[in-house]
Amino acid sequence: MAFEIINPHGQANIVFICEHASNHIPPKYDNLGLDDDLLNLHIAWDIGISEVTKNLSLRLNAPAILASFSRLLIDANRGISQTGLIPEQSDGYKIKSNCNLSEVEREKRINQYYRPFHNKVGVIIQEKAKSEKAPLIINMHSFTPQMNGFNRPWHSGMLWNKDPRVAIVLKNKLEGRGYCVGNNKPYSGRDLFHTMNIHGDSHGFPHVMIEIRQDEINTAEGVEKWSRILTKELKDIRNLPEMSKIKHF
Ligand SMILES: [Zn+2]
């Protein structure tokens, strides 16, 4: 199965999407040639984010769709022709089985994993879009505390491309709680925003890509803390009139 759905009939007009929830690689791929312990690293998935997303889905009573495959198999937050769709290396680790991939194998991964995931996201959002209010689309990710020797100071980052509605409000709310929050950090939604471009922006629905630093959510206490904070703030954001409008920026 390419995806897992939590709370499919959740009534809130919110949809959670999590492309990097799982480090699962189907057995036939033999770990893509990697040692088991490498699959527990951030290269294979977004540590901690699956738990936070599931909590938010249940507490806000909204559906969540989580990919059931590792981004090393195929990365659902990339366009089909984008570099890194099937990564040949990640953070210095070579993914041998992904190098010199045949066109047949590439198509197989797209058709068995990538497309079913995005098609299902589309169906869930379409269902929500029948409401008079625009659905709120929330994309959940986590990021590593260091990259290329640089310590990333942000507890969380709000990524956006054209529509800043949710990103700016949520950033201000978290800063009000004393957190260091990146505006299009640790990287920019102008560069990497595939899922939100196609499922949020293209429809004019309010959306944001939330990134949480992994050392904030790699314990049960951390998961609980961020689940509680985001439940409160997203509930308030859902109620803002501005967030019910379809708007093209
Ligand atoms: Zn991610």
Q: What is the mean pLDDT of the chain?
A: 97
Distance CA 137, CA 161 (A): 14
Break the chain down into helix, strand, coil percent, rounded to 5.
40, 15, 45
Residues above pLDDT 70, as percent of the chain: 100
Distance CA 249, CA 155 (A): 28
Task: State which residues of the chain have pLDDT below 50.
Answer: none
Distance 236 CA to ligand 1 centre (A): 25
Distance 181 CA to ligand 1 centre (A): 17
Task: Please say whether the dihedral angle defined by the alpha carbons of residues 221, 43, 124 and 230, taken in this order, is positive or negative.
Answer: positive
Distance 132 CA to ligand 1 centre (A): 31
| DSSP, res 5 | E
Angle, alpha carbons 99-104-110 (nearest 5°): 85
Distance 11 CA to ligand 1 centre (A): 26
Residue 56's pLDDT is: 98
The model carries a pTM of 0.98
Distance 62 CA to ligand 1 centre (A): 20
Distance CA 66, CA 4 (A): 5
Q: Encode pLDDT of 118-139 as tens digits.
A: 999 999 999 999 998 999 999 9
Residue 148's pLDDT is: 85
Distance 141 CA to ligand 1 centre (A): 4
Distance 191 CA to ligand 1 centre (A): 14
> Which CATH architecture is the domain 3-240 placed in?
3-Layer(aba) Sandwich (3.40)
Closest CA to 209 of 49, 62, 97, 86: 49
Distance 217 CA to ligand 1 centre (A): 14
Distance 19 CA to ligand 1 centre (A): 7
Residue 221's pLDDT is: 98
Measuring CA to CA, how many Å separate 44 from each of 31, 54, 133, 157, 176? Answer: 10, 19, 36, 20, 33
Residue 149's pLDDT is: 87
Q: Encode pLDDT of 142-186 as tens digits.
A: 999 998 889 999 999 999 999 999 999 999 999 999 999 999 999
